[in-house]
Amino acid sequence: MGIKSTLCACLMMAIGLAPAIAATTGVEHTLQNGAVQLSVWEKYTGATAGKRLVVLAHGSATAGRESFDLQVPGVGDVSLMDVLAEQGYDVFALDTRGFGRSTHPESHITTAQAGEDLNAVVDYVAKLRGVAKVDVLAWSWGTQYGGMFVMAHPEKVHKYIAYAQMHLDSPDLAKRRQQINVFRNNPYVVVPQAGWKPRFYSMTPAGANLPAIVDAYADAAARVETRTSTGPQLDLVTLMPMINARMMTVPVMLIHGQYDDVADQQGLLPFFQALPNPEKRYVIVADAGHMMMFQKGRHRFQRAVIDFLAD
């Protein structure tokens, strides 16, 4: 910041005004991956030139925009996309096939197909912005197809963040295995508005949640995910493990909440230890569970992400 702009900012704070923050721009993109049309939501501030790109990979419940750009009236710093955009990143969140605004095949989608979708999106945004590499942050099931992508294409990835990565013995996966016939027999299921709320409280104290955020997420999910793909669930209960730490050669951060019902030290420390790149971190966030980016610990989560990407 130059002397003139620094002085201006100091004067504004002295009289009780905060320096202006550049407006955040949102842009919707569509691209083809074979017969599938993919939707991608972008957020950035100012101009896009010279910014590092971050691609966000959603989990098995809600699409990219609902997962990473949730807007809650009266509650700040909920949208991870806005937080990263304000830090100077050009941020993209995809909807894999079977989710959100992307094509919904009538048959089961697979984790491998989602990995192909992520690869197509990375190629698209890299060409759009004229860069060779992107940063990737993946959440929940996203760590499986995101991990597949990182294993197959390390040359396209600067840094990788695996948020709430499950493992073979994850407590919540044990519960899902009891529903395997439902997953096999139904490529999609309908989740009512109230059905989107329990995950906030699975192994997580009520005090870690803000009801306004829980309600906003449930409303957004019910509005957009009118039918929810079971393909991810089927893979999670039949194909684990799907990723190999030794084949992930880029810098990696594993991060999860202290109350997460799929990610824990017992299951993930061996994975972390096997990561070959010495630039790696393992972070546990207090006051947070699987829905960490919406919970009380979300600011700690945001700081950890920003710090890892900037280092």
Structure tokens at 51: 């910014």
Residue 248 predicted with pLDDT over 50: yes
Residue-averaged pLDDT of the chain: 93
Would you state the structure tokens that stand for residue 4, as one six-digit string?
């003139």
Nearest to 63 by CA among 199, 227, 280, 184: 227
Return the pLDDT at 278: 98
Query: In the numeric block, which tokens belong to residue 122?
Result: 């990375």
pLDDT for 203 equals: 96
pLDDT at residue 220, as a whole number: 97
Mean pLDDT, to the nearest integer, of 195-214? 97
Structure tokens belonging to residue 187:
């490529």
Residue 2: pLDDT over 90: no
Domains of the chain with bracketed CATH = 25-310 (3.40.50.1820)
Range from 17-31, 41-55, 150-164, 188-202 carrying the lowest mean pLDDT: 17-31
68-91 in b/e form (b: 16+ CB < 10 A) is bbbebeeeeebbbbbbbbbbebbb
The tens digit of pLDDT for each residue in 116-145 reads: 999 999 999 999 999 999 999 999 999 999
pLDDT recorded at residue 311: 77
Higher pLDDT, 2 or 310: 310
The answer for 269, left when phi > 0, alpha when psi is -120 to 50, beta otherwise, is: alpha
Q: How many residues does the chain have?
A: 311
Q: Give backbone dihedrals phi and psi of 37, rounded to 5 degrees, phi first.
A: -95, 130
User: Rounded distance, CA 36 to CA 106, Å?
Assistant: 12
Measured distance between the N- and C-terminal CA atoms of the chain, rounded to whole angstroms: 20
77: left (phi over 0), alpha (psi -120 to 50) or beta: left
Span 249-307, pLDDT tens digits: 999 999 999 999 999 999 999 999 999 999 999 999 999 999 999 999 999 999 999 99
Closest-CA residue to 241 (of 141, 171, 144): 144
DSSP annotation of 19 reads P
Distances (CA, A) of 160 to 31, 151, 298: 23, 11, 19
Overall pTM > 0.75: yes
Give the pLDDT confidence score for residue 20 in this predicted structure.
Answer: 45
| Whether pLDDT at 159 is above 60 | yes
- Angstrom distances, CA of residue 174 to CA of 61, 167, 179, 236, 239: 17, 11, 10, 10, 13
In angstroms, the CA 252 to CA 136 distance is 10
pLDDT at residue 3 tops 50: no
